[in-house]
């Protein structure tokens, strides 16, 4: 069975349309997320990948394996630069929709036990960030922990003052 030139063109245009739709989908994800982390997952076991995906779901992070070329085109169309050398080889992207640091924290935490998992780079506030910056962001405590620390700092002088007054009162009795 011979394929005619018109059929070839139709198939090619369908493929181009699918790629254009995928690029638009990637651009939409980038627009919706607060940040994302680009990860090299080469050599990760199925069990480790399953745990990683579960951790991502718990933290409102979408983890997808996407074609490097399409991601690069989407980033270029959005005017975001710096990813050229990093989108090579097996690449997955973790899009953080809630807490912008969630993707970095989950990847960093899992990379401690899964040696095959490696951070390549990321995006925060519409700008490229390198792997070292992603690791630094992952080390920042969560919002809840920071609020608890702030509350402790605010309560410390008041409680110290209250203890001092109590000791003076006890001494005077």
pLDDT tens for each residue of 121-163: 898 888 888 888 888 888 877 777 778 878 877 777 777 777 8
Can you tell me the mean pLDDT for 42-46?
Answer: 86
Q: Reading across the β-sheet that carries 61-65, which strands appear in turn?
A: 61-65, 91-96, 35-40, 118-124, 127-130
Q: Look at residue 95 in the predicted model and tell me its pLDDT.
A: 92
Calpha distance 136→16 (Å, rounded): 39
% of residues, the chain, pLDDT over 70:
93
pLDDT confidence tier of residue 9, bands split at 50, 70 and 90: low
Indicate if the pLDDT at residue 53 is higher than 80. yes
Q: How do the domains of the chain map onto residue ranges?
A: 5-137, 141-173
Which string of DSSP letters, residue by residue, matches 26-75?
HHHHHHH-SEEEEEE-TT--HHHHHHHHHHHHHTTEEEEE--HHHHHHHH
Q: What's residue 25's pLDDT?
A: 92
Across the range 3-7, mean pLDDT stands at 61
Distance CA 159, CA 145 (A): 20
For residue 1, pLDDT beyond 60 = no
Q: What is the pLDDT of residue 146?
A: 75
Range in 45-54, 71-80, 101-110, 161-170 the model is least confident about = 161-170
Average pLDDT over residues 24-37: 89
Can you tell me the mean pLDDT for 101-128? 87
For the entire predicted model, the pTM comes to: 0.72
Q: Please state, rounded to an integer, the average pLDDT across all residues of the chain.
A: 84
Top-level CATH class of 5-137?
A: alpha beta
């Amino acid at each position: 069975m011979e394929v005619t030139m018109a059929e070839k063109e139709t198939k090619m245009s369908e493929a181009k349309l699918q790629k254009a739709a995928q690029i638009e989908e990637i651009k939409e994800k980038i627009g919706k997320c607060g940040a994302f982390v680009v990860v090299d997952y080469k050599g990760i076991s199925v069990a480790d990948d399953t745990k990683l995906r579960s951790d991502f779901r718990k933290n409102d992070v979408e983890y997808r394996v996407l074609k490097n070329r399409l991601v690069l085109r989407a980033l270029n169309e959005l005017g975001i630069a710096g990813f050229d050398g990093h989108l090579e080889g097996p690449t997955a992207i973790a899009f953080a929709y809630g807490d912008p640091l969630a993707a970095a924290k989950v990847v960093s935490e899992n990379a401690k036990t899964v040696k095959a998992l490696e951070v390549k780079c990321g995006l925060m506030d519409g700008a490229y960030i390198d792997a070292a910056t992603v690791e630094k962001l992952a080390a920042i405590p969560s919002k809840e922990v920071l609020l608890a620390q702030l509350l402790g700092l605010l309560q410390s002088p008041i409680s110290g003052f209250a203890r001092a007054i109590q000791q003076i009162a006890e001494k005077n009795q």
